[in-house]
Amino acid sequence: MAGVEQATKIECSACAKVILCGEHAVVYGRPAIALPLPTLRAHARIEPDRRAFTIVAPDVGVTVSPWRHSRLTRNPLARAALAALELVGQQPPRATLTVTSDIPVGANLGSGAAVSVAIARAIAAYFNRALPPEEASRLAYEVEQLHHGSPSGIDNTVIAYEQPVWFARGKPLELLDAKLVAGLPLVIADTGIATPTRIPVGDVRAAWERDRERIEGYFDAIASLTHVAREALERGDLEQLGRAMNANHALLQQLGVSCPELDALCDAARSAGALGAKMSGGGRGGNMIALVRDATHAEVLREALLHAGAKRVFA
């Protein structure tokens, strides 16, 4: 049943994400582990207005009038809003929806999916409609196809559920026990290079089509490391997890999706004592993650990564 429109403003948000192990191979049916980053969020605020429904994204200087677009528009903000309105069975309200985000765009932290989920949550709440995580995830996946072409589905899943996930495309979702990663000492560094995920994903696809046996071998090796990483999490073995992360990065280098800047940050992290370091996400820029020993070590690593060229560091 359709909800009743709110008379006051509604504010909702959605978290960022990071892939611990398994990127790229996850597109080809192998498992990956992804973690939510609750302290980095996209925000959506919707409030009544006299004018027709408008989305304002001041961070990027964009204003969108979704009612002027078709349901299948390629504008991601309008697409998310229209999909959410369709989901709750409503027409565009006389309201303004303002979107802001703490999540760096193009850093492989799930900015696009987080914005879509935040928009969907805000519109649903505006009409007094609950939005289950599976519905938010499906909606965000639709918009992710505009950003990435053929996404694995991992970003929208971990962001919509805001829980660590063991994700394998086409298989039932497995939410991991949050206790496994509670307090996991990770430091995240952004190269400042924004490369659309569809570019490295497309290059891996082209390599796979040229030499499937070789590329499938890399995917199988990454899958094995992802299983090792899960076992290490379950045992609380940070040393083993770090080794799996290092080996995962080496395989992603072989796939050609790293870059000198990511490699330099990983090297700097290991030189500063990180237990493991790897690129995370699509690659050719974006972010890397490092596993540290504790909060004091995280601060040492933060300084080392900034010195090595990181534009931003999150701990």
Using CA atoms, how far apart are residues 140 and 134, in angstroms rounded to an integer? 10
Contact between residue 177 and residue 297 where contact means Cβ atoms under 8 Å apart: no
Residue (of 62, 69, 81, 86) closest to 123 by Cα position = 81
Q: Mapping DSSP to helix (H, G, I), strand (E, B) and coil, where does residue 87 land?
A: helix
The backbone torsions φ and ψ at residue 13, rounded to the nearest 5 degrees and listed phi first, read -150, 170
Report strand pairing: 165-167 vs 174-175: antiparallel
Q: Residues 49, 59, 102, 155: which is the catalytic one?
A: 155
Buried/exposed 263-295: b ≥16 CB within 10 Å, e otherwise: ebbbebbbebebbbbbbbbbbbbbbbbbbbbee
Alpha helix locations (H) across the chain?
76-88, 111-126, 133-148, 154-161, 198-210, 212-235, 238-255, 260-271, 295-307
Q: Is 155 a catalytic residue?
A: yes
Residue (of 52, 135, 43) closest to 88 by Cα position = 135
Contact between residue 94 and residue 7 where contact means Cβ atoms under 8 Å apart: no
Contact between residue 14 and residue 121 where contact means Cβ atoms under 8 Å apart: yes
Using CA atoms, how far apart are residues 15 and 112, in angstroms rounded to an integer? 11
Using CA atoms, how far apart are residues 121 and 136, in angstroms rounded to an integer? 7
Q: Where in the sequence numbering do the catalytic residues fall?
A: 155
